[in-house]
Amino acid sequence: MRYQASPQTRLLLKYIHTFSAMMWIGGAQAILILLYKDRLATNGDELFAVNDAIRSLDNWLIGPGVAGSILSGALISLTTHWGFFRHRWVSVKWVVTVVATLFGIVFLGPWLQDLSEITGLNRLAVFDNLAYVQTYRLGVIFGVAQMVVLLVLVLISIFKPELEPCSPAARQLERRLAVLLRPVVAPFMGLQGQICNLLRLERD
């Protein structure tokens, strides 16, 4: 049995998904700007402030944005007609999102964190530090790559390209996944119903 979200719930999930994506994309853009400013720093304190701001954006803007995008996207797939494997473009979007997230957690995020930590110890002397220079270049290269990937995901969501339908085996996997995740979806659906009931009572 698949839970079907009400129209109000679908709108709420779309709002959360869109807002979370904005946080992720906005944070990624801001970090690229700060990485550019990094090379223009004229003193150690300014350099540290720039790199510390990058770390803060990664922790408090991109991190929650990624979590919100994945959670809301999963709920949309589980509670609407889109599913995970019914449409090839949805499956492609999920694969790209998961790969980008894992790469950010394992590589890009730690690189950006290292910039702040190294600068905190050495200030302007880091420009003579080979490890810092290499980490900075990796951050710039893959920061740009992340931005390109995010823009591609946005285009996929907007245009929903007609790709080859997923195989019956993939759809069977989706049905099994829906059954396994039912305990996760049920509390959310129950909470949504309680909120709607409260709103009706207030209007009455």
Angstrom distance (rounded) from CA 202 to CA 200:
5
Angstrom distance (rounded) from CA 22 to CA 167:
32
Note the pLDDT of residue 186: 52
Angstrom distance (rounded) from CA 27 to CA 33:
10
Q: pLDDT at residue 202 above 60? A: no
Q: What percent of the chain has pLDDT over 70?
A: 78
pLDDT tens, position by position, 88-137: 889 899 999 999 999 999 999 999 999 999 898 887 778 788 889 999 99
- For the chain, the average pLDDT equals 83
Note the pLDDT of residue 44: 85
Distance from chain centroid for Cα 97? 7
Q: pLDDT at residue 67 above 60? A: yes
Domains plus CATH for the chain? Answer: 7-203 (1.20.120)
Angstrom distance (rounded) from CA 135 to CA 48:
15
- In the block, which residue shows the tokens 């995010």? 150
